[in-house]
């Protein structure tokens, strides 16, 4: 697991490293510049004619240190100071003095000419105001240059906290950041401005948190050790029983995808509650599933007590519809309080239509809305959610005491206590119908295998994305179906020896 920091968290960690652990800020700056230049060399980026754009903050100081190191290696380096000298930080002024001592010229305007490399060190992680005027003109000019564009720590104009672009932004091909990734480098549109992102160690680490850990983290491949273990001496009951309430007339596919995904994620037993007209489809597509069928309007007559006593977890909503029968099904799920539940798709649409039900969700509930569903639940717009993805998920989790998996290109999972996970696996090939049904089946499967909800939600999102990445590597992105993700889950299981 890796921590993902806000700008404020990064600045505090930096300050703690100097104040508490006594590492001088100038030493940290020099180390950052050194590993930055080493990364350029490792990637064989042409530095023969380099332009370094520097602001008046510590980010600009880093840029001047990089410029010096390149100049001392006999590279043709042009340094442009774009900031206000009166507002320069102490470390920025020190780096300017060092450049002056070496006789390295600092200019105010970009000279005409071609550059093989453009380094952006204008604004750092503390940027909170729109980039306008001279700065906006400078960044726009830099974006039009032909050379490779590399952002130092963060692309100027990108808000480190939410990924929003404040006015004009630097379009980096590569961002070389330090110590920890920042939220804005992963969330869109900041992710698109950041290009490829590499995080380098330069003397700041988790010691700098002291007693205050960052709120957001991202799972990594090594965290797959958290997945349930397979046992030689076991049976279908060992791996849990999932009650899947899904499907309606014309929407049996959602139930099929969720059921097959649950099995692919290791579940031992899936019982599908679905209308009678889906019998043939379900028995053909998922013969392993046990069916509990009902006639339209007869959902109240199902043996609910028996069903909930049998199950270890519930998934409700994929392809369910939003009519009276679907509402009855969801009410029964909410009425039981003992089983962890995943509410997805139409279950969420019903909650948005019948808001009096929201406070009644069981304490171990996981909701998995996409942006449109979240907009209805939160009574806001998709555009507002995109600007505040993490905060939207966190507010919902806090208000309704449910784990919220807010699905987007970067899915954010908010836990009840305020902790957040951002998912970095997956690809745009997964932006197709049915992908969410697969995710709900995966999370439900993890729940029945005794993975607690606060871990099952982010872990499910992570393996869902990995399955998509495996299949994209095999068949490409444009033709990736949701059903292919189930095959991706099987490939992942084989890779992990599960």
Q: Which domain holds residue 205?
A: 2-214
Angle between helices 324-335 and 346-353 (to 10 degrees): 90
CA atoms of 117 and 67, how far apart (whole Å)? 12
CA atoms of 11 and 9, how far apart (whole Å)? 6
Number of domains in the chain: 2
**CATH number, domain containing residue 190:** 3.40.50.10260
Task: Indicate whether 188 and 228 sit together in one domain.
Answer: no
**For residue 297, is pLDDT > 90?**
no
H or E element, residue 272: strand 269-275
Task: Indicate whether 37 and 164 sit together in one domain.
Answer: yes
Q: Is 295 helix (H, G, I), strand (E, B) or coil?
A: coil
Q: Please identify, among 192, 214, 236, the residue that sits at the C-terminal boundary of a domain.
A: 214
CB hemisphere CA count around 304 (13 angstroms): 15
Q: What is the pLDDT of residues 40-55, one digit of tens each?
A: 999 999 999 999 999 9
Q: Please identify, among 199, 214, 229, the residue that sits at the C-terminal boundary of a domain.
A: 214
Residue among 437, 490, 482, 432 at smallest CA distance from 463: 490
Return the sign of the alpha-carbon dihedral for residues 448, 449, 450, 455.
Answer: negative
As a whole-number percent, the residues of the chain with pLDDT over 90 amount to 98
Q: What is the pLDDT of residues 162-183, one digit of tens each?
A: 999 999 999 999 999 999 999 9
Task: Indicate whether 106 and 245 sit together in one domain.
Answer: no
Task: Indicate whether 420 and 465 sit together in one domain.
Answer: yes
Q: 391 pLDDT band (50/70/90 cuts)?
A: very high
Task: Indicate whether 150 and 251 sit together in one domain.
Answer: no
H or E element, residue 10: helix 7-19
Task: Indicate whether 332 and 185 sit together in one domain.
Answer: no
Q: How many CB atoms lie within 10 A of CB 280?
A: 10
Task: Indicate whether 166 and 277 sit together in one domain.
Answer: no
Task: Indicate whether 131 and 232 sit together in one domain.
Answer: no
Task: Indicate whether 210 and 228 sit together in one domain.
Answer: no
Q: What is the pLDDT of residues 80-127, one digit of tens each?
A: 999 899 999 999 999 999 999 999 999 999 999 999 999 999 999 999
- List helix spans (H) across 86-238: 90-102, 133-143, 183-186, 190-194
**CATH number, domain containing residue 332:** 3.40.1190.20
Task: Indicate whether 294 and 332 sit together in one domain.
Answer: yes
Q: Please identify, among 194, 214, 234, the residue that sits at the C-terminal boundary of a domain.
A: 214
Residue among 393, 433, 383, 429 at smallest CA distance from 409: 429
Identify the pLDDT of residue 280: 97
Task: Indicate whether 38 and 110 sit together in one domain.
Answer: yes
Look up the pTM and report it: 0.95
Identify the pLDDT of residue 362: 87
Averaged confidence pLDDT in the chain: 97
Task: Indicate whether 247 and 372 sit together in one domain.
Answer: yes
């Amino acid at each position: 697991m890796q921590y993902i920091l806000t700008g404020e968290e990064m600045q505090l960690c930096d300050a703690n490293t100097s104040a508490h652990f006594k590492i001088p800020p100038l030493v940290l700056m020099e180390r950052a510049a050194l590993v930055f230049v080493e990364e350029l060399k490792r990637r064989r980026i042409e530095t023969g004619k380099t332009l370094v754009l520097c602001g008046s903050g510590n980010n600009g100081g880093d840029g001047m240190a990089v410029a010096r190191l390149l100049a001392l290696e006999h590279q043709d380096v042009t340094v442009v100071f774009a900031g206000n000298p009166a507002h320069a930080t102490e470390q920025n002024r020190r780096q300017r003095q060092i450049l002056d001592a070496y006789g390295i010229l600092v200019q105010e305007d970009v000279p005409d000419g071609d550059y093989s490399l453009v380094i952006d060190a204008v604004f750092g992680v503390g940027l909170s105001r729109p980039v306008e005027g001279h700065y906006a003109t400078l960044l726009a000019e830099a974006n039009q240059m032909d050379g490779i564009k590399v952002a130092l720590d963060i692309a100027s104009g990108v808000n480190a906290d939410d990924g929003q672009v404040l006015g004009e932004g630097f379009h980096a091909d590569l961002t070389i950041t330090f110590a920890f990734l920042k939220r804005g480098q992963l969330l869109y549109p900041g992710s698109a401005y950041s290009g490829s992102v590499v995080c380098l160690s330069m003397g700041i680490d988790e010691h700098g948190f002291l007693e205050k850990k960052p709120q957001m983290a991202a799972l990594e491949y090594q965290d797959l050790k958290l997945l349930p273990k397979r046992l030689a001496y076991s049976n279908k009951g060992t791996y849990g029983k999932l009650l899947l309430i899904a499907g309606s007339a014309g929407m049996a596919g959602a139930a099929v995808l969720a059921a097959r995904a649950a099995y692919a994620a290791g579940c031992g037993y899936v019982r599908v509650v679905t209308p009678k007209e889906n019998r043939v489809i379900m028995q053909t597509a998922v013969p392993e599933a046990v069916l509990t069928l009902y006639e339209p309007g007869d959902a109240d007559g199902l043996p609910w007590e028996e069903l909930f006593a049998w199950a270890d977890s519930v998934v409700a909503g994929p392809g369910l519809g939003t009519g009276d029968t679907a509402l009855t099904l969801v009410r029964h799920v909410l009425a039981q309080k003992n089983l962890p539940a995943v509410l997805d798709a139409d279950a969420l649409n019903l909650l948005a239509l019948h808001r009096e039900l929201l406070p009644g969700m069981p304490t171990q509930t996981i909701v998995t809305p996409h942006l449109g569903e979240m907009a209805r639940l939160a009574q806001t717009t998709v555009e507002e959610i995109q600007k505040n993805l993490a905060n939207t998920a966190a507010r919902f989790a806090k208000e309704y005491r449910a784990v919220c998996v807010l699905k987007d290109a970067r899915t954010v999972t908010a836990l009840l206590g305020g902790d957040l996970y951002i998912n970095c696996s997956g690809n745009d090939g997964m932006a197709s119908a049915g992908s969410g049904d697969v995710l709900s089946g995966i999370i439900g499967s993890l729940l029945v295998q005794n993975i607690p909800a606060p871990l099952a939600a982010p872990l499910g999102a992570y393996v869902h994305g990995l399955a998509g990445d495996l299949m994209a590597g095999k068949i490409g992105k444009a033709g990736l179906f949701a059903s292919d993700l189930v095959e991706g889950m099987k490939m992942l299981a084989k890779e992990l020896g599960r």
